[in-house]
């Protein structure tokens, strides 16, 4: 059996084809997994456990079914950080901390969404600090569903405008930050998403071989990382 890793699905009503790929994945390959890890941005937006959008209902139901037999772990992304205990109850999934070290078939491995590694993007880090502030979140969750939707649309438009004006390199990870983060957790292997730049980066850390595996997004098709005792491989889901 293998552990499966996916991220950056950004499920939304605008891309029902991606939702269908995800549902088939949950009903098929995921059923044979030892564990499933979703490393952030499962949804395009999550505005609170009390206002689940209709387009998410089937995915939530299928996650619940899968979690009855396969452990499913989910990290916050930069789009769905308002998931709480009610989400865990609805899906049977377990929400994880932003940075977590797991024993991956004998290899200590750091898993994370990856946005905190993009420290060259100062504007984004400032925005992240704002929306992750408990007081800001409490204020948002006290708003009506209509107000939350309006704010989400406004923030999304701002994000699109700012992203289009940024150098692509600024939005990628900072290698020094990567090495500092891995060193802090005492690991030589890291798996993350967020950047939408799937690759395997090999480098030296503390004089030893190190590896950073970047997961693909699901904007055009599905993709997963399969890890077992024999190593790792990526797979495409049509």
Q: What is the pLDDT of residues 24-44, one digit of tens each?
A: 999 999 999 999 999 999 999
pLDDT for 168: 78
> Taking a C-beta distance cutoff of 8 angstroms, is the pair 24, 60 a contact?
no
pLDDT for 164: 72
At 157, the pLDDT band (50, 70, 90 cuts) reads: confident
Using the predicted structure, report yes or no on whether residue 160 has a pLDDT greater than 90. no
Using the predicted structure, report yes or no on whether residue 121 has a pLDDT greater than 80. yes
**In the chain, what are the domains?**
3-237 (3.60.21.10)
pLDDT for 155: 86
pLDDT for 75: 98
pLDDT for 84: 97
pLDDT for 156: 84
CA-to-CA dists, residue 8 to 20, 22, 150, angstroms? 15, 12, 23
Using the predicted structure, report yes or no on whether residue 167 has a pLDDT greater than 90. no
- If one compares 91 and 165, the residue with the highest pLDDT of the two is 91
192-222 pLDDT per residue, tens? 999 999 999 999 999 999 999 999 999 999 9
Using the predicted structure, report yes or no on whether residue 67 has a pLDDT greater than 80. yes
pLDDT for 159: 79
What letter does residue 134 receive in the DSSP assignment?
Answer: H
- If one compares 162 and 74, the residue with the highest pLDDT of the two is 74
DSSP-based three-state secondary structure for 105: coil
pLDDT for 237: 94
Q: Is the dihedral of CA 148, 218, 195, 86 positive or negative?
A: positive
Using the predicted structure, report yes or no on whether residue 163 has a pLDDT greater than 80. no
Assigned token pair, 102: 């797991």
Q: Which helix (H) or strand (E) holds 225?
A: strand 222-228
At 161, the pLDDT band (50, 70, 90 cuts) reads: confident
What pTM value is reported for the model? Answer: 0.96
pLDDT for 169: 80
What letter does residue 54 receive in the DSSP assignment?
Answer: G
> Taking a C-beta distance cutoff of 8 angstroms, is the pair 110, 189 a contact?
yes
> Which residue, chain included where needed, has tokens 């690759």?
199
pLDDT for 149: 92
Instruction: Name the residue among 226, 222, 225, 195 with its Cα closest to residue 19.
Output: 222
Mean pLDDT score of the chain, rounded to an integer? 95
């Amino acid at each position: 059996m293998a552990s499966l890793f996916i991220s950056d699905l950004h499920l939304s009503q605008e891309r029902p084809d991606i939702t269908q790929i995800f549902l088939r994945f949950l009903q098929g390959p995921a059923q044979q997994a030892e564990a499933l890890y979703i490393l952030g941005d499962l949804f395009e937006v999550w505005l609170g456990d009390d206002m689940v959008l209709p387009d998410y209902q089937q995915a939530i139901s299928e996650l619940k079914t899968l979690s009855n037999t396969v452990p499913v772990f989910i990290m916050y992304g930069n789009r769905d950080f308002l998931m709480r205990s009610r989400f865990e109850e609805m899906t049977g999934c377990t929400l994880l901390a932003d940075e977590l070290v797991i024993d991956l078939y004998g290899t200590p491995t750091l898993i994370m969404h990856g946005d905190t590694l993009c420290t060259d993007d100062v504007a984004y880090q400032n925005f992240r600090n704002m929306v992750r502030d408990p007081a800001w979140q409490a204020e948002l969750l006290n708003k009506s569903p209509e107000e939350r939707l309006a704010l989400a649309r406004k923030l999304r438009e701002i994000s699109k405008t700012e992203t289009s004006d940024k150098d692509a390199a600024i939005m990628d990870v900072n290698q020094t930050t990567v090495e500092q983060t891995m060193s802090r957790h005492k690991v030589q292997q890291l798996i993350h998403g967020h950047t939408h730049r799937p690759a395997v980066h090999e480098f030296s850390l503390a004089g030893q071989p190190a590896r950073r595996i970047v997961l693909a997004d699901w904007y055009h098709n599905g993709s997963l990382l399969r890890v077992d005792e024999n190593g790792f491989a990526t797979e495409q889901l049509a």
